Amino acid sequence: MTTNRIDPRGWRCRAAEMVASVKEKGYLGDPRLEAAFAQTPRHHFVPEFLRLDVDPEGAAQVVGVVDGTSPEYLDALYSDQALMTQTKPVRGQPGSFVWSSSSSMPSVMADMIEELDVHPGLRVLESGTGTGYNAAILCHLLGDAAVTTIEIDQELLYAAIDRLAGVGYHPSTEPAPRGYDRILATHAVDQVPPDWITWARPGAIILTDLRPPSNTQVGAWLKLVVDADGRGATGRLMPPRGYFMSARRVPEFADDGQNLPELTIEEHQHRAGLIERRDVRVPPDVLDDAAFALYSWRRNLDIWSWRQDGEVTLSAADGSWAQVGGDTVSLIGDRDLWADVEHTYADWRAFGQPPITDWTVRVTSDGSTEVVLPG
Ligand SMILES: C[S@@+](CC[C@H](N)C(=O)[O-])C[C@H]1O[C@@H](n2cnc3c(N)ncnc32)[C@H](O)[C@@H]1O
């Protein structure tokens, strides 16, 4: 572990300044939560972070590691910003990298804890231990006996457990069935894991960021209340107040990529010769409407889509592909993927285009997460 040469009084002054800036944004109204942020040494949990550089195309690159020997370290640690701490490749794309762990933005952490009304007397499960900083805040607030934290990446988990023990906290890392009044995830999910329902007590509240894997364009925060019989949960969506990295399915990869068939160059060239074109019935900018983009994703979960420079690219695991720009759809494969979105748009209009805050989300312990529009 990196040893930081940090003046013990110095970090407290900086933590107080960070708390003041988070309060200015409207968080930390509860003095107990304010004390947790003011008295938890973030530098202890984030001994180093990755320095990024963004190239002219907007792609981020890791250009170095910042630790306690660097003058910028403490300024960054005690400011309201997320700090990236790990990258992993995408499955099937050696050499690629995607963020796979970080210390979240303190105001977003505070927002989640407040949205869940976490207060002493409750038992809380956090999914996504990461650096352990958020778990430490929860331990300060609730006592470590009331906190469980889980992490898919054992290396990260062991490092976080050590750091937590270093400040006197020993939260559990083994979820207990029907053990929790609150569950919060500091990673995004595309389906609510059924385990969360079985770990929650009846009436428990769950908060998570619901979004497609590795997608900052589409998503919402989801707040669920677990049924009295504990077999499912019902909830509401709200516009996201922070984006979380996707849940990993395995620790080795940041995500499973687009799950596309791997093709040789010849196969790609052959496919390029198969492109068909048609006029759009619905223009690509319908996906600028965040609510429709979310609805379209939930209705077409097997379609991966990305918007850039006014164009939409869609693909599916069977190799079907579409690109929509202006008035034209370019298509390859058996499925017309844009037609699926066009049908969804007709239904969306028929439903009266309700705001996401009016939708209901139903989750069952068999693993389904279903969005229900009003009417
Ligand atoms: C934004 S970081 C967590 C920040 C953390 N709470 C902190 O205070 O440092 C998201 C974390 O979720 C973890 N994660 C991803 N998929 C997961 C899964 N399926 N189950 C549990 N943890 C997961 C990642 O490895 C990563 O450490």
Instruction: Please give the chain's pLDDT, 375 residues, in tens.
Output: 444 556 656 899 999 999 999 999 999 999 999 999 999 999 999 999 998 777 666 666 777 999 999 989 999 999 999 999 999 988 877 777 788 999 999 999 999 999 999 999 999 999 999 999 999 999 999 999 999 999 999 999 999 999 999 999 999 999 999 999 999 999 999 999 999 999 999 999 999 999 998 888 999 999 999 999 999 999 999 999 999 999 999 999 887 666 666 667 777 677 777 889 999 999 999 999 999 999 999 999 999 999 988 899 999 988 899 999 999 999 998 899 999 999 999 999 999 999 999 999 999 988 899 999 997
Classified as helix, coil or strand, 85 is strand
Name the residue of 99, 134, 152, 250 whose CB sits within 8 Å of the most ligand 1 atoms, as the mutation to test its pocket: 152
315 lines ligand 1 (CB under 6 A): no
Determine if ligand 1 sits within 6 Å of the CB of residue 245. Answer: yes
Number of other CB atoms surrounding residue 274 within 10 Å: 10
The ligand 1 atom nearest the CA atom of 193: 19
Contacts of range 269-274, beta carbons closer than 8 Å, 24 or more positions apart: 271/319, 271/321, 271/332, 274/332
C-beta of 247 in contact with ligand 1 (< 6 A): yes
pLDDT at 3: 47
Residue 333 Cα distances to 164, 238, 321, 338, angstroms: 52, 36, 6, 12
Tell me, letter by letter, the H, E, C secondary structure of 119-172: CCCCCEEEECCCCCHHHHHHHHHHCHHHEEEECCCHHHHHHHHHHHHHCCCCCE
| Alpha-carbon gap, residue 190 to 211, rounded angstroms | 5
- Measured by CA distance, the residue closest to atom 14 of ligand 1 is 128
d(CA 325, CA 315) in angstroms, rounded, equals 15
Q: Which of 100, 103, 104, 305 is catalytic?
A: 104
**Pairwise CA distance, residues 158 & 154, whole Å:** 6
Reported CATH class of domain 8-238: alpha beta
**pLDDT at res. 2:** 45
Measured from the Cα of 249, ligand 1's closest atom is 19
Assess contact for 140 and 132: CB atoms under 8 A: no
Task: Mark whether 104 is an active-site residue.
Answer: yes
Q: What element of type H or E holds 265? A: helix 265-272
Q: Is the CB of 180 under 6 A from ligand 1?
A: no
Nearest-CA residue for atom 17 of ligand 1: 247
Where would I find the beta strands (DSSP E) of 18-82?
A: 48-54, 60-67
What are the sequence ranges of the domains in the chain?
8-238, 265-350
| Ligand 1 midpoint to CA 16 (Å) | 26
CB proximity list for 213: less than 8 A, separation 6 or greater: 190, 246, 247, 255, 256
Q: By C-alpha distance, which of 299, 303, 286 is closest to 371?
A: 299
CA dihedral 226, 209, 371, 334 (to 10 degrees): -140
Kindly report the pTM of this predicted structure: 0.94
- Indicate if ligand 1 lies below 6 Å from the C-beta of 151: yes
Q: Which residue, by CA, sits nearest to atom 27 of ligand 1?
A: 130
| Mutational test site, ligand 1, from 101, 116, 125, 139, max ligand atoms within 8 Å of CB | 101
